[in-house]
């Protein structure tokens, strides 16, 4: 079996320079994260706020913590002091809460808006129309303590590469059309996981979220 460092090194060697690697460490114990940290990794992704907070308390403070899971409004306050990017923002209500908690902590919190691209009921996210409505609303303009850095999406869990490619391409096209509206300056497209990140990069991803290929199966 490869070590975490070997896995990280081999993945990093395949990533183009403009692509950021989020090491998805959910469910993994702190010593595994430390091994990745010692191999140079500084961006970690977690999908539960409580678990992320516990790891943040125990780990070195130069780590950037990304929340990649679905966020419950009532838990935003626990991560507001330290989270560096929230990937799964899918409503104005949630953005307003993040803004409120960011203000309390005297900071601006970076967010990605999650777009629904899969053909699975279980996945979260906005469609293009809802995204447009959110970004052009008066309420959105008032939010000074959040910054929208880009979009995030998850493809359908399938072996069908054409299906996945279609969904990633769809997200990229939404990104491009929002960019043209000139409301927010989008920089980041977070798409791609262990099984599909190479395809995601071909389709325009600038941020990949990789867990099992680094830390092993969960
Ligand atoms: C778990 C998870 C990942 C990483 O999945 P792997 O297949 O282990 O790479 C990426 N994104 C999200 C949103 C996740 O929940």
Q: How far is the CA of 193 from the centre of ligand 1 (A)?
A: 6
Q: Does ligand 1 lie within 6 Å of residue 47's CB atom?
A: yes
User: Structurally, how many domains does the chain consist of?
Assistant: 1
Range of the domain at 122: 4-215
DSSP at 73: G
- Residue 136 · residue 146 · CB < 8 Å: no
DSSP at 217: -
Q: Does ligand 1 lie within 6 Å of residue 69's CB atom?
A: yes
Give the C-alpha separation, 187 to 109, whole Å. 15
CATH of the domain at 124: 3.20.20.10
- Residue 32 · residue 215 · CB < 8 Å: yes
> Cβ contacts of residue 51 below 8 Å, gap of 6+?
26, 27
Q: How far is the CA of 181 from the centre of ligand 1 (A)?
A: 30
Condensed to tens digits (0 to 9), the pLDDT of residues 170-200 reads 999 999 999 998 889 999 999 999 999 999 9
List C-alpha distances in Å: 152 to 23, 158, 213.
16, 18, 20
CA 154 to ligand 1: nearest atom: 13
Q: Does ligand 1 lie within 6 Å of residue 205's CB atom?
A: no
Condensed to tens digits (0 to 9), the pLDDT of residues 5-52 reads 999 999 999 999 999 999 999 999 999 999 999 999 999 999 999 999
Q: How far is the CA of 98 from the centre of ligand 1 (A)?
A: 23
pTM above 0.75, yes or no: yes
Q: How far is the CA of 26 from the centre of ligand 1 (A)?
A: 8
Pocket test for ligand 1, best of 20, 32, 36, 193 (most atoms within 8 A of CB): 193
Give the C-alpha separation, 213 to 68, whole Å. 17
């Amino acid at each position: 079996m490869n070590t975490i460092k070997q896995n990280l090194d081999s993945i990093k060697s395949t990533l183009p320079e403009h692509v950021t690697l989020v090491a998805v460490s959910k469910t993994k114990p702190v010593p595994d994260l430390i091994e990745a940290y010692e191999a140079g990794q500084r961006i970690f992704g977690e999908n539960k706020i409580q678990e992320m907070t516990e790891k943040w308390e125990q780990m070195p403070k130069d780590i950037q913590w990304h929340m990649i899971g679905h966020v419950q409004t009532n838990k935003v306050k626990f991560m507001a002091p330290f989270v560096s990017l929230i990937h799964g923002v899918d409503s104005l209500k949630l953005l307003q809460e993040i803004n409120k908690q960011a203000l309390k902590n005297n900071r601006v919190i970076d967010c990605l808006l999650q777009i629904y691209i899969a053909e699975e009921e279980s996945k979260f996210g906005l469609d293009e129309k809802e995204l447009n409505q959110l970004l052009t609303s008066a309420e959105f303009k008032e939010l000074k303590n959040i910054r929208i850095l880009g979009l995030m999406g998850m493809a359908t869990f399938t072996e069908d590469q054409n299906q996945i490619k279609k969904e990633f391409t769809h997200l990229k096209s939404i990104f491009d059309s929002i960019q043209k509206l000139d409301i927010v300056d989008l920089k980041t497209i977070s798409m791609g996981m262990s099984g599909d990140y190479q395809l995601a990069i071909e389709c325009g991803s600038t941020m990949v979220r990789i867990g099992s290929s680094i830390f092993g199966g969960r």
